[in-house]
Amino acid sequence: MDQRIEKLAELLVGYSNPVKAGDQVVIGGPVASTDLLSAIYEKTLVAGGLPSCEIEPPGFQELLLKKGRKKQLGYVPAWKKQQAEEVDCLFRVLGETNTRSLSGADPKKQQQRVLGQKPLREIFNRRMNEGSLRWALTLFPTEAYAQDSEMSLSDFQDFVYSACMVDRKDPIAAWKRVRGNQEKMVKFLTGTKKVRIVAEGTDIMFGVRDRTWINCCGTHNMPDGEVFTGPEEESANGKILFSFPACYNGREVEGVQLTFKEGHVVKAQASKNQEFLESMLDLDSGSRYLGEFSFATNRAIQRFTKNILFDEKIGGTVHFALGSSYAESGGTNESVLHWDMICDLREGGKAYVDGKLFLKDGEFVQGF
């Protein structure tokens, strides 16, 4: 086994989502990610946790969306809800072998499926906000992800493990340094009131008064590298042209441009998959409002991969999320949707905070 897999598992269990003796731990992911799932399972046993592993066969989601009726699409087993109420630690590993398997799915059925999962998502969100459920998300490199990124598998593996810093001698110490550097940014942003983003096809302003800026330094996502908050719900005005395709639920929406008025998306355009975009925006009353805004800081990630776990961390970009807020940021928007979309500021883009230049051409002018 690639020793970097072992180091990633150690990082996840020892730093990102520390497992304590007696913790009930659920480890889940596709068959293709078995090597990493096994390593996390082993490290959990060593830490004294009580692990269970849920390995997902390929093609089941595709079958459900193709053959499932409305009741089946919305079905959540009772044991799933009980598990969500009782588990202490949750590890989720991404490991798809076909990232396009849902490209032909009916957008209305995908909408029904997202809405059907709402009760389970509400349990997880409540427990995460309470601090009674700890979690970590990562990715195992597969051929499918490598192809999306236009890399060979070996090059993509190097990319993933470099972004996670498990190619370093002491990955935990490296992520602690990230935490310290980003804490300076959090301190600077705390107490600010307005953010404005200007780039090609983009000029949008929104409020962040009395909101909390969160330091994302590998304690939930791996890789990580961002500082985010929840915009004031009715404050966004202007337009955003997102620089890369917006990927969600196995669908890829290209050329997304949104127009906001008093926080609400009043116009949505896409050059590809317009129907899917609109179906997601119409999921509920909160899906047309912003739930998150973030500055990305991971300089080891500089290329678009079509995987949001990496792309939202591209150093020198910002991203906005439509839909639900994270309570820790002070945001109050509620939705079953949380869809991250990226605006690249590395070539001609600017970010202003309270009217002062904060980021130019992807570089922080304050020296973070």
239 & 309 share domain: yes
291 & 331 share domain: yes
40 & 9 share domain: yes
Distant-in-sequence, close-in-space partners of 47: CB < 8 Å, separation ≥ 6: 13, 14, 18, 19, 20, 21, 23
Confidence band, pLDDT 50/70/90 cuts, at residue 249: confident
Of the three residues 151, 167, 183, the one that is the final residue of a domain is 167
pLDDT at 34 over 90: yes
Per residue in 38-70, pLDDT tens? 999 999 999 999 999 999 998 999 999 999 999
Of the three residues 132, 167, 202, the one that is the final residue of a domain is 167
Residue 368 lies in a domain: no
207 & 303 share domain: yes
223 & 157 share domain: no
184 & 327 share domain: yes
24 & 98 share domain: yes
Q: Do 325 and 161 form a contact (C-beta atoms < 8 A)?
A: no
146 & 214 share domain: no
160 & 225 share domain: no
241 & 332 share domain: yes
Tell me the mean pLDDT in the region 198-216.
97
Q: Where are the beta strands (DSSP E) in 147-281?
A: 194-199, 202-207, 214-216, 226-229, 237-241, 246-248, 251-253, 257-261, 264-269
180 & 141 share domain: no
Task: Provide the number of structural domains found in the chain.
Answer: 2
What CATH number corresponds to the domain at position 34? 3.40.1830.10
Domain of residue 48, residue span:
3-167
- Find tokens 């990927």 and name the residue: 247
152 & 183 share domain: no
What DSSP character marks residue 255?
A: S
Confidence band, pLDDT 50/70/90 cuts, at residue 6: very high
